[in-house]
Structure formats: C-alpha cells, structure tokens
C-alpha cells in the first residue's frame, strides 16, 4: 500500500509538471515576469540605489563672480552626482533648465543667483549687508529619496564655500576692530594658516581633518556596496516566487471544474496523497524558478550571492514552502478560478508592497513597517538581503527561515482545514 | 396506470447476484432533500439506467455510489461491501466516468491513460499493455500521442470513458456520457458499452435521453425530485401506459367540460401541468377522430392536439405530468 501511495504521488507530480511545462502562460508568469521586473526596476531605480550611474543635475550659473563656479566644481567631484552646466553645447540658462525639467528630460537643477559671489565676499563691517538664495529646482514627481541627498550635498557645498570665502574678510574685521598685535601674527599670515588650521590635520597642511566616507556596519562583512541589480534581485525573487500560489490554486480549481479531481477522489488514493501530489510539483517548480533567477542574474548582471550557499538554500526552501502552502490556502478559500485569480493578485501585490519588495521597508512609515512583518515577504526578503548584500551566514538567517516555516505551516494548516475534497 | 404523479410503481426483479444494493438512500443539502429515500439493486453484468430530467437526483445518486459524496440515511452495498464503512475497498472495484470531460487537454491520450493507470497501481509492462488495450477499445490508437485538447467532442468522450476502464472495474458508473456528442460517436459509445457489458461488467448509466435508456438498459429506474418513481425493464415500463396519450389544448373555460366528457366515454383524462388535457386511451389511432368529432359537436375549440405513442417519454409524462426535457 505504501508503494502504491509513493507511485501515486509520483504519478500526480509527474502529471502536474508535464501540465505546467506545456502551459506557456504559466511559464511566463513564473520565470519571465519576476526577471523582467528585476531588469526594468533595477534600471528605473538606479538613481535611488546607486548603480554607479550618477544622478544628473543641471547647474545654472548666473553668478557674476567666481564662487558659484567653485561650488559647481566641488559638486562635480562628488560621486553619485553628475553636474551638467550646458545643454547641447550651450551654457544653460534658468529658463532652459526650467524647460528641461518641465519636459521631463531632467529632474533637478541647482541655480546660483547673480549676487552669489558678492554676498559671499562681502566683509562683515561693510554697511550694506545682504542675503541670497541658491535654488534647487526639482520636478515634484522626483522621489524624496533622490532630491534629499542632492539637497544635502548642495547645502554642504554652499556652506563650505561661504566659510572659505567669508573667512579672510572675517579675519580682517577682527584685526581692524580689536588689537591683535599681542598675538604676534600678521593678518596675512593668519589668513594663510586659517583654512589649514580649521580643515586640515595640521596648520602647515596634511590631510583633511574631516572627510565623508560611506561604510557598512562592521557585522556585515561586505566587500563593496550592492548595486541596484543586487538590491533588486532579492525583492523581485520573493515577489515572483509567490505567484506559484496563483497557479497552484487555479490548477486545483480547474481540476475540480473539469471533473478530473472527482475522478481522483473516486480512485483508491488517500486525500493526503492527492494533496502531496499537488504540492510537490509546484514546490519543485518554485525551487527551479529561484535557481534560474539567481543563475541568470549572476550570468547577465555579474551579481554575487554572498558567502553562504547553505543559507540561500535554506531560505529558498522555506520560501517555496510558504508560497505553495499559500496556494493550497487560496484554493481552499476560493470557489472559482476567477475568484482565486483576483484573490491572489490582491493578496500578493499587497503583501509584496508591505513586505518591502517594491520599496525598502525602512522608507515606510513606522506603522507600515510593523504591519509588513505580518507578511512572509518581509522575512524572506530580509533573509535574502542578509545573505546577498549584508554578507551574513546561514546561522544568522536561521531565525528568519524559522519564521518562514511557521508561515508555511499556518497557511497549510488553515488551507487543509478549509479544503473541500467533495 | 394512476393519475399524474400520485403513485410509485416499483417492480423490482429478483436479482440473484446483486452487485449494488441501495436501500432507503437519503441525501440532504441543508433543508433541501435531493435524494429522498431511494431503493434499488443492480445485478452482476446488468446495464441499469437512471432516467430523469435535470435535477432529478441522478448525478447525486451516482456521486454517492462512486464514493464522492457522503449520504445522510440508508445503506449502500457494492459487491457486498458497505459503502459507509469500507469506502476505500469499494473504490478499487468501481470506475467512474463523470459527466464532465475529466481529462487533461494538454496531455496526450496515452499520457492521460497512463496517469490514471498509475493512480490505480499499474506500472511497467502491465500499465503499457493496458493503455494500448484501452486506446484500441476507445478507437484512439492512431492518435494516442496527440494532445487530448485537439480531439473532437466524441473522441474526448471516448477517452473519458477509457480512463474509467483502465483498472478493469467490476462496476462502471457512467454519468450522462453522451452529452455534446455527435450521432456517430454516440453509436460508437453505445457499441462500446454493450461490449463491456458482454464481458460481465455491471454498468449504471444516467441519462435524460429516453432513446439511450431504451437501447442500452436492461432495467431503468425513472427518477424525479429525488425519488424513484418506477423501476422495470423498458417493455415493462412502457407496458404501464396502455395504448397512448392524446394531449389536447382547449380554452381554459372549456377544459373542465371536456375532461368530464372524455372521462364519461371511458377515456382516462386529467389536466396536465401545462394546462392541456391529457387523455389516456387504449387505441390512440381510433380515439383521435372521436375526440375531434366530440369537440366539434359540443362547440369546444381545439387549440392544439398532440398524439403520443407509448414509450419511456409517455411513461414519464404519465408519472409526473411533465416531459423529460421540461
């Protein structure tokens, strides 16, 4: 009897694998759709995640002096930002920059006013003092995750330029107003040494006292920061894997509608064997899907997948269990294929979004971040990111794998309880 | 024969070797009783028909007998095994051909049959041999490798029946197996069923086509509203209606006058549910001119007149007052 059950499960598995690989739409949904997502979204979000391709900003220099030119030069020196001062060979004007943003060709422009240098170079004791504004013109549709860092960079550069430009005048002012002879230093010598004293490790020169460097936490043993493809592969893998639930639920309901399920139930085969025969092929397809996505990503985008193959295997197995168990749950709750389809779309898009597959969870409001933890997507994504971009090992992701197995068991238990064999 | 739908005529033959014994079977869905205490038995090697309109309870009965549905009351024995307690053992003895085309359209005919065979425990040479036999039996040997979805309706039906035969069941349940089938394929299926029956297989066949029941079935149970109204051989059932039936359409105000008139002339008459007068007579050919003449004489306008010779349709009409396809 045990041999018959094993043969029956094998027959069911083989049959469903054959049916799957004869269904072109199913293969597009499972294999191609998440891969297309990775490619499209990686390119689309390259600016957010930093794929090595810098964010392009326009610079309009209306300044009659030299200070704005220095700031533009400093901005151009920043990694991640590409400053464009001309368009099609002609120096940019404010109007042209506005037109380029309105026309959707660029998202950001920094505009230096005509009095920028004169305001910066004005001595503190001059009778007429003035303030001026550098403008960061942004397309309202540009995400804050892009405009925020650019604004920060421009502010930093402008403040540094202000300090550098106004410092000599400030020293003159102090010498003129107060008796500085006791210090034994001339105003010219002080001006020469001041910048070094403030910004360098030694007044005589040396390296910059403060520099900015991007680093990861020490516990994350990464060699370099991930690019947008590496950032997106875990999210869209998790997103894609769960679509198996839609196919599995549709397959069960189609068999019920077409009468093949009734034929099976009239045969000497146990209910658990019928369910196992449904779960195993889709579980195998899921594992194959993950393997293909990772292999293709490695080949096409030169992505590395961290240091723990065992960690990836454990996470993938738990994730596939979750997705197939969700399929059983949906097939138990839905009465028709159409119901299953709409239920799956609604559920998977919501769970993917809340779980951080589309937008990182740390960018979400705190309440949504917490709600996201109720989805298996968040845990699977976190585990994959731990392994792929944070350099963690199997032991580090085991708790997350455990939570995924828990989700799978809950989905399966509720699904079996509600499953209608009749 | 009694008035419309008032009496149940059960003539159970004495079945020496019953392979199916159904006694007071009841199935309810909530407050709705869909099988209301039916009793019948089917002999070894017999083709037993369940005839009735849609909603009569035929498919529910088949679903219960083929272990797909639980029942609320009564007993069912198949080959001596109690269905309530020995369901798994019963499953190995029965074959089911569901009303739906229970095949996988993207798999080939051979793959469909191989899959079913494996589910019933066949493997290796036995499986390959049986697949070839069933393909031959279903007339599909030359198209065995083609996806079943490419087949005509009749070929799909034959494959559907073939799948039910893979494990050589002792009892075969066929639930309206000819729905949507062209006449040529229908005849092929009938020949096929008769051949299986000759090999000793008991077959329970549900249909709402009286022609099918008349051609195939040794005995027929007429079902309506979840009840068995009559069981007998086809000649036995037809013999219940003496002569024939005339359905006479007259204006509503004249209907009662007409009914009394024909009743007094020894023609059994009653009002049918569709408002027409149903006149049962021993010699329908002679009765028709007499009815027309009497109506003319009494100034009763004739709106329509239909003459029905005795067959299972008239038996059903006589038992229920409705046609099979109503």
- Whether residue A385 is predicted with pLDDT greater than 70 in this model: the reply is yes
Closest partner residue to B120 among A10, A23, A268, by Cβ?
Answer: A268
Q: For residue A273, list chain B residues with Cβ-Cβ distance below 8 A.
A: none
Q: Which has the higher per-residue pLDDT, A364 or B116? A: B116
| Of the ranges A138-152, A333-347, A401-415, B214-228, the best mean pLDDT one | A401-415
pLDDT given for residue B293 in this prediction? 86
Asked if B271 reaches chain A (Cβ–Cβ under 8 Å), the answer is no
Distance from CA of B248 to the nearest CA of A (A): 43
Residues 104-143 of B with CB under 8 A from A: 104, 106-107, 111, 115-116, 118-121, 123
Asked if B99 reaches chain A (Cβ–Cβ under 8 Å), the answer is yes
pLDDT given for residue B294 in this prediction? 85
Distance from CA of B275 to the nearest CA of A (A): 39
Backbone angles phi, psi at B139, to 5 degrees: 70, 35
Q: For residue B67, list chain A residues with Cβ-Cβ distance below 8 A.
A: 265-266
**Residue contact B102–A10, C-beta within 8 A:** no
pLDDT given for residue B6 in this prediction? 34
Q: Report the SS3 class of residue A66.
A: coil
Residue of A nearest to B89 (CA): A268
**Residue contact B106–A264, C-beta within 8 A:** no
Chain B contact probe: residue of A260, A261, A278 with most B CBs at under 10 A: A260
**Residue contact B96–A422, C-beta within 8 A:** no
Q: Report the SS3 class of residue A202.
A: strand
- Whether residue A20 is predicted with pLDDT greater than 70 in this model: the reply is yes
Q: For residue B102, list chain A residues with Cβ-Cβ distance below 8 A.
A: 258-260, 262-263
**Residue contact A7–B118, C-beta within 8 A:** yes
pLDDT (tens digit, 9 = 90+) per residue, A107-150? 888 999 998 888 887 776 676 667 788 888 877 766 666 777 88
**Taking a C-beta distance cutoff of 8 angstroms, is the pair B72, B78 a contact?**
no
Q: Which has the higher per-residue pLDDT, A266 or A210? A: A266
Nearest to B100 by CA among B160, B56, B52: B160
CA dihedral A18, A23, A29, A30 (to 10 degrees): 10
> Under an 8 Å CB criterion, which residues of A touch B?
4, 7-8, 10-12, 14-15, 18-19, 22-23, 257-260, 262-269, 422
pLDDT given for residue A188 in this prediction? 80
- Pairing verdict, β B244-249 and B304-308: antiparallel
pLDDT given for residue B82 in this prediction? 95
- Positive or negative: CA dihedral A154, A156, A160, A165: positive
**DSSP H or E run through A411:** helix A394-418
pLDDT given for residue B22 in this prediction? 95
**Residue contact A263–B99, C-beta within 8 A:** no
End-to-end CA distance of chain A, in Å? 23
**Residue contact B118–A8, C-beta within 8 A:** yes
pLDDT given for residue B4 in this prediction? 34
- Lowest-confidence pick of A22-36, A114-128, A376-390, B200-214: A22-36
Instruction: Return the number of CB contacts < 8 Å for A and B.
Output: 74
Q: For residue A11, list chain B residues with Cβ-Cβ distance below 8 A.
A: 115, 118-119
Distance from CA of B119 to the nearest CA of A (A): 5
**Residue contact A15–B107, C-beta within 8 A:** yes
As a whole number of angstroms, the distance between CA A255 and CA A251 comes to 6
**Residue contact B106–A262, C-beta within 8 A:** no
Nearest to B213 by CA among B86, B7, B56: B56
Q: For residue B27, list chain A residues with Cβ-Cβ distance below 8 A.
A: none
Domains of chain B, each with CATH number or no CATH: 12-237 (3.40.50.300), 244-320 (3.30.70.100)
Closest partner residue to B96 among A7, A15, A266, by Cβ?
Answer: A266
Nearest to B32 by CA among B72, B84, B75: B72
Residue of B nearest to A421 (CA): B68
Paired tokens of A228: 């947008």
- Whether residue A345 is predicted with pLDDT greater than 80 in this model: the reply is yes
Chain-centroid distance of CA B77 in Å reads 20
**Residue contact A266–B121, C-beta within 8 A:** no
Using left for φ > 0, alpha for ψ between -120 and 50, and beta otherwise, residue A288 falls in alpha
Chain A contact probe: residue of B86, B119, B179 with most A CBs at under 10 A: B119
**Residue contact B104–A260, C-beta within 8 A:** yes
**Rounded to two decimals, what is the model's pTM?**
0.70
Domains of chain A, each with CATH number or no CATH: 2-46+227-418 (no CATH), 53-178 (3.40.190.10)
Nearest to A262 by CA among A129, A69, A422: A422
Distance from CA of A36 to the nearest CA of B (A): 27
* DSSP string computed for B83-133: TTT-HHHHHTTEEEE-SS--S-TTSBHHHHHHHHHHHTT--HHHHHHHHHH
Q: Which residue in this structure is represented by tokens 């994504």?
A: A381
pLDDT given for residue B8 in this prediction? 47
Mind spelling out the 3-state secondary structure of A123-175?
CCCCCCCCCCCCEEEECCCCCHHHHHHHHHHHHHHHHHHHHHHHHHHHHHHHH
Residues A92-106 have a mean pLDDT of: 84
> What is the DSSP-derived secondary structure letter of residue A54?
P
**Residue contact A4–B104, C-beta within 8 A:** no
Mean pLDDT in each 10-residue stretch from start to end of chain B (326 residues)?
Answer: 40 69 94 92 91 88 93 94 93 91 94 95 93 92 94 90 92 88 82 85 88 88 91 85 80 83 75 81 78 86 83 80 66
**Residue contact A12–B119, C-beta within 8 A:** yes
Q: Helix crossing, A2-21 with B109-119: angle to 10°?
A: 160
pLDDT given for residue A44 in this prediction? 54
CA-to-CA dists, residue B221 to B48, B171, B175, B227, angstroms: 8, 17, 14, 10
pLDDT (tens digit, 9 = 90+) per residue, A151-210? 888 888 888 888 888 788 778 877 877 777 777 878 787 777 776 666 666 656 666 555
Query: What percentage of chain A exceeds 70 in pLDDT?
Result: 84
Q: For residue A15, list chain B residues with Cβ-Cβ distance below 8 A.
A: 104, 107, 111, 115
**Taking a C-beta distance cutoff of 8 angstroms, is the pair A284, A321 a contact?**
no
Residue A29: count of CB within 10 angstroms of its CB: 16
As a whole number of angstroms, the distance between CA B112 and CA A1 comes to 23
* DSSP string computed for A371-410: HHTTSHHHHHHHHHHHHHTS---HHHHHHHHHHHHHHHHH
Backbone angles phi, psi at A10, to 5 degrees: -65, -45
Asked if B102 reaches chain A (Cβ–Cβ under 8 Å), the answer is yes
Distance from CA of B114 to the nearest CA of A (A): 9
Q: Report the SS3 class of residue B264.
A: helix
**Residue contact A15–B115, C-beta within 8 A:** yes
pLDDT given for residue B178 in this prediction? 84
As a whole number of angstroms, the distance between CA B25 and CA B31 comes to 16
pLDDT given for residue B163 in this prediction? 94
Residue of B nearest to A274 (CA): B119
pLDDT band at A211 (very low <50, low <70, confident <90, very high): low
């Amino acid at each position: 009897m045990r041999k018959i059950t094993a043969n029956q499960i094998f027959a069911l598995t083989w049959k469903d694998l054959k049916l799957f690989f004869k269904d072109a739409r199913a293969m597009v949904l499972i294999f191609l759709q998440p891969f297309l997502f990775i490619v499209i979204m990686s390119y689309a979000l390259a600016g957010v995640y930093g794929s090595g391709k810098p964010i392009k900003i326009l610079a309009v220099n209306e300044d009659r002096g030299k200070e704005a030119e220095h700031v533009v030069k400093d901005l151009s020196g920043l990694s991640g930002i590409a400053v464009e001062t001309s368009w099609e060979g002609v120096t940019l004007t404010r109007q042209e920059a506005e037109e380029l943003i309105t026309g959707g060709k660029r998202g950001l422009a920094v505009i230096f006013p005509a009095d920028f240098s004169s305001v910066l170079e004005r001595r503190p004791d001059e009778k007429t003092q003035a303030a001026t504004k550098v403008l960061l013109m942004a397309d309202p549709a540009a995400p804050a995750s892009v405009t925020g860092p650019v604004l920060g960079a421009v502010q930093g550069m402008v403040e540094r330029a202000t300090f550098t430009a106004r410092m000599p005048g400030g020293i003159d002012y102090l010498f003129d107003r107060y008796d500085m002879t006791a210090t034994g230093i001339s105003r010219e010598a002080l001006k020469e040494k001041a910048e070094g004293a403030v910004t360098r490790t030694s007044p005589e020169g040396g390296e910059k006292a403060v520099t900015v460097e991007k680093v990861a936490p020490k516990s994350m043993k990464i060699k370099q920061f991930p690019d947008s493809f590496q950032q997106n592969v875990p999210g869209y893998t998790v997103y894609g894997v769960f679509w198996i639930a839609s196919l599995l639920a549709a397959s069960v309901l189609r068999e019920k509608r077409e009468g093949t399920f009734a034929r099976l139930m009239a045969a000497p085969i146990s209910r658990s064997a019928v369910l196992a025969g449904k779960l195993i092929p889709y579980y195998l397809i899921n594992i194959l899907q993950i393997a293909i996505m990772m292999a293709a990503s490695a080949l096409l985008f030169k992505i590395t997948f961290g240091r723990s193959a065992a960690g990836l295997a454990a996470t993938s197995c738990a994730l596939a269990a979750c997705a197939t168990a969700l399929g059983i749950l949906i097939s138990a709750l839905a009465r028709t294929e159409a119901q299953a389809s709409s239920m799956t779309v609604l559920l998977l898009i919501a769970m993917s979004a809340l779980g951080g597959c589309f937008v990182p969870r740390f960018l979400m409001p705190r309440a949504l971040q917490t709600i996201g933890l109720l989805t298996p997507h968040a845990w699977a994504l976190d585990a994959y990111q731990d392994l792929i971009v944070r350099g963690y090992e199997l032991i580090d992701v085991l708790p997350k794998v455990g939570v995924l197995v828990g989700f799978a068991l809950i989905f399966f238990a509720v699904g079996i309880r509600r499953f209608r064999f009749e | 024969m009694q008035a419309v739908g008032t009496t149940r005529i059960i003539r159970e033959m004495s079945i020496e070797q019953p392979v199916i014994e159904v006694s007071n079977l009841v199935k309810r869905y909530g407050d709705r009783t869909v099988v209301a205490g039916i009793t019948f038995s089917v002999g070894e090697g017999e083709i037993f028909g369940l005839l009735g309109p849609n909603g009569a309870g035929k498919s529910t009965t088949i679903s219960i007998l083929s272990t797909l549905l639980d029942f609320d009351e009564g007993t069912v024995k198949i080959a001596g095994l109690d269905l309530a307690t020995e369901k798994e053992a019963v499953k190995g003895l029965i074959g089911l051909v569901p009303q739906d085309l229970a095949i996988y359209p993207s798999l080939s005919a051979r793959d469909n049959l191989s899959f079913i065979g494996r589910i019933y425990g066949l493997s290796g040479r036995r499986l390959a041999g049986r697949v070839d036999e069933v393909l031959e039996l279903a007339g599909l040997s030359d198209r065995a490798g083609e996806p079943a979805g490419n087949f005509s309706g009749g070929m799909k039906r034959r494959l559907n029946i073939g799948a039910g035969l893979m494990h050589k069941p002792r009892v075969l349940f066929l639930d309206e197996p000819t729905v949507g089938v062209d006449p040529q394929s229908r005849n092929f299926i009938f020949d096929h069923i008769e051949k299986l029956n000759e090999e000793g297989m008991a077959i329970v066949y549900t249909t709402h086509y009286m022609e099918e029941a008349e051609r195939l079935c040794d005995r027929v149970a007429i079902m309506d509203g979840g009840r068995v109204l009559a069981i007998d051989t086809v000649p036995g059932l037809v013999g219940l209606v003496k002569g024939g039936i005339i359905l006479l359409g007259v204006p509503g105000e004249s209907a009662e006058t007409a009914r009394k008139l024909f009743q007094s002339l020894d023609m059994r008459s009653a009002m049918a549910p569709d408002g027409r007068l149903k006149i049962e007579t021993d010699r329908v050919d002679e009765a028709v001119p007499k009815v027309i003449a009497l109506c003319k004489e009494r100034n009763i306008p004739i709106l329509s007149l239909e003459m029905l010779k005795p067959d299972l349709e008239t038996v059903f009409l006589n038992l229920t007052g409705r046609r099979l396809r109503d």
